[in-house]
Structure 1
């Protein structure tokens, strides 16, 4: 948490990229408590059609999410940034207990407080059923994305 909180507004291109990667690494850990520490205690979320307020609800949501979305792997990329806001696009893959693979595509809008905690997150996400042969992300689940070869493909 300390490293990501050192990345505070106003953002530069480099600090915005680092903030995105730190968020991606935290989510790929699938540790709901670790992820929640990057959000302000009163953080507001919209995730698809769900709305949350505060870290406890974030932890509850992520815990449920990763019980259903198995072998979760996420890649994010910086879309744009301003003083205290960052926009990202992302893809993630997961499988269900029935061994059906999915790829989710989305965009997130983030707003940060002066301490570098995210106080607002709005995520729009679409899912696509995929076959195992269509998977793009093959690094070990629960691990950070390798530096090379696993970015978000330019063609969706």
Structure 2
């Protein structure tokens, strides 16, 4: 399974989800491809936002090697599952996905009790916002891992 996490600029939410999911997959001994992308390309080539790096590092995730990139039309063919961090991203991705075969969905639909909710953008907030986002992303990744293990995404 190839999974792509998508947010606005690929410097806060989607790289955090990518790092958390990689850690979850490694711990479970599963081999699935994960990546992140942004709907906007204004941060392409840049590392994640420093507060996101710090919040992730406090929980043992290393975002430093990741670099932002823009979502491409080819991603809808390359990835099996493309997960939006919020409803605005989801709507835009659905419009862009017409030419692809990848399934598009909302990330927190995998987190029991958080279905239908957005992962808020912490970019302009304080460290507490980044911690909250990390809590949500860990819950979403745990639910996604369960769905992978149970074969619900095959």
What is the TM-score when the length of structure 2 is the normalising length?
A: 0.26
Greater Cα radius of gyration, structure 1 or 2: 1
Higher fraction of strand? 1
